[in-house]
Amino acid sequence: MVTPDFRDDAQALVPDLVDLRRSIHREPEVGLDLPRTQAKVLDALDGLDLEITTGTGLSSVTAVLRGAKPGPSVLLRGDMDALPIEEDVDIDFAATNGNMHACGHDLHVAGLVGAARLLSAHRADLAGNVIFMFQPGEESPGGAKPMIDEGLLAAAGDPPVAAYAIHVTTAPYGAFLLKPGTIMSSRSELQVTLRGKGAHGSRPHLGVDPVAPVAEIVTALNTMVTKSFDVLDPVVLSVTQLSGSRAANVIPESAGLGASIRTLSEDSLVLIQERVREVVEGIAAAHRCTADIDFTVDYPVTVNDEEETQFASSVLEQRFGADRLVPMTDPRMGSEDFSFVLNAVPGTFLFLGATPEGMDTTGIANHSPRVQFDDRVLSDQSAALAQLAWERLQ
């Protein structure tokens, strides 16, 4: 049997996929509850020979395509949620509800719908099953694990033998960026509350001030990172929230901070939890305060399987050309909850450049209110996902 080249068929789908992407872009939804986006996905899949289930605790869609020939299962992921960002882009399909698809998930949805249509058209020759994972909540609080808990990996019967996801980025248009091993960091959140004794701002000696030690902790945490971790196993700690009194002349009962933490190894993740506690409790005690520390690991490190990444690289090179492949030398310090899938299934997560040709993106990247993605990339995204699933099932 001749292996199909999905690129030509994908070109024919582009007008419909662009319409879908722009419809989703106009009405971005945030988090796990995405009823309008879910409805658009279900409408776009209508008429295909798929077994479709929706989530009970979140607005997910799981669709299974069963090939006419026996074989294993492969999973393809597209995330659906947006960000609480006010869009600052002059396009006729810009969002106006205070949210924005600033990470390109609208393209991921449309691209996965395209892959479902391409593979459905070849169902008679498909040797196995494809699970299409339409996931809410990737940005936060995380939809992959709830989908797994609700039976995603058993949707086709036996667990999938491989899993793939393609994420658009502000790299040059059409470039596929791949990396075996660790490709994205873990994501953790730190919330610290120091408790003292409230007093009037003019008589601090009658209280126990929690604000001053919070300020010390901010500096100490940044110093701790540089002195405790190997620069070749990087850790990023960013204090992004501070809280204290609501009035300038009041020493509050409590003050606090919030921080985002990224690590690239399990050893660093364990160590930073120990060091954070030492720093916070030590400074709090020196100021006669007590400390509440909440360290939450949201997403684990995203680790690509070596063999599956090599397989994906080979397929993409054969179908799109070696000049389209860009090996990544270093992981990114952003995080991905596709990591939960890759912890259970060997697979690979890769990037696809979608910068509009001729556009200067200096200082603009995913999550910027001014980021733009070229929706012509939907042809390659759909074809690449379909090609990976098809050839893996052979």
Residues 165-187 pLDDT 10s: 999 999 999 999 999 999 999 99
Q: Is residue 64 a part of any domain in this protein?
A: yes
Per-residue pLDDT tens digits for 317-368:
999 999 999 999 999 999 999 999 999 999 999 999 999 988 888 889 999 9
Within this chain, do residues 207 and 174 fall inside the same structural domain, yes or no? no
Angle at 146 between CA 51 and CA 99, to 5 degrees: 95
Give the structural domain span for 322.
6-180+305-393
Do 156 and 229 lie in a common domain? no
* Residue that is last in its domain, among 299, 314, 331: 299
286: CATH: 3.30.70.360
Q: Do 33 and 147 sit in the same domain of this protein?
A: yes
Q: Cis ω on the peptide bond leading into residue 327 (within 30° of 0)?
A: no
Helix (H, G, I), strand (E, B) or coil at 337: coil
Quick one: pLDDT at residue 362?
84
* pLDDT value of residue 1: 65
Neighbour tally for 340: CB within 10 Å: 21
Domain's final residue, options 239, 272, 299: 299
Residues 314 and 293 in one domain: no
**What is the tens place of the pLDDT at every residue in 18-68?**
999 999 999 999 999 999 999 999 999 999 999 999 999 999 999 999 999
Would you say residue 1 lies in a domain? no
Residue 351 lies in a domain: yes
CATH number, domain of 52, equals: 3.40.630.10
> What's residue 50's pLDDT?
98
Where a domain ends, among 299, 319, 354? 299
Structure token digits, residue 251: 């020493």
- Do 241 and 172 reside in the same domain of the chain? no
Answer whether residue 2 shows pLDDT above 90: no
User: pLDDT (tens digit, 9 = 90+) per residue, 199-228?
Assistant: 999 999 999 999 999 999 999 999 999 999
Length of the chain: 394
Same domain, 87 and 113: yes
pLDDT at 254: 98
Does 389 lie in the same domain as 359? yes
51 with 173, same domain: the answer is yes
Identify which of 105, 114, 104 has the alpha carbon closest to the alpha carbon of residue 34: 105
Residue 250 is predicted with a pLDDT of 97
Same domain, 271 and 376: no
Amino acid 134: pLDDT: 99
Same domain, 176 and 193: no
Residue whose pair of structure tokens reads 């393609």 in the numeric block? 166
CA 252, CA 4: separation in Å to the nearest integer? 67
Do 18 and 70 fall into the same domain? Answer: yes
User: Is 367 part of any domain?
Assistant: yes
pLDDT digits (tens, 9 = 90+) for 230-244: 999 999 999 999 999
Torsion of Cα atoms, 208 then 212 then 216 then 221, to 10°? 80
Residue 379 lies in a domain: yes
Closest by CA to 389, choosing from 111, 65, 164, is: 164
| pLDDT of residue 282 exceeding 80 | yes
At 202, which amino acid appears?
S
Judge if 172 and 284 occupy the same domain. Answer: no
Q: Is 290's pLDDT higher than 80? A: yes
Distance CA 217, CA 244 (A): 14
Q: Residues 269-282: what's their mean pLDDT?
A: 97
> What is the pTM (predicted TM-score) of this model?
0.94
Instruction: Compute the mean pLDDT over every residue in the chain, rounded to the nearest whole number.
Output: 97
Which residues on neighbouring strands pair with residue 191, listed in sequence order?
Answer: 258, 294
Q: How many domains does the chain have?
A: 2
- Angle, helix 6-26 to helix 105-120, in steps of 10 degrees: 140
Which one, of 29, 48, 31, lies nearest residue 39 by Cα? 29
Percent of the chain exceeding pLDDT 70 equals 100
DSSP 268-304: HHHHHHHHHHHHHHHHHHHTT-EEEEEEEEEE--EEE
In a domain, 212, yes or no: yes
Q: For residue 336, tell me if it sits in a domain.
A: yes
Tens digit of each residue's pLDDT (9 = 90 or more) over 79-116: 999 999 999 999 999 999 999 999 999 999 999 999 99
Q: Is residue 243 part of a domain?
A: yes
- Tokens at 208, concatenated: 């126990």
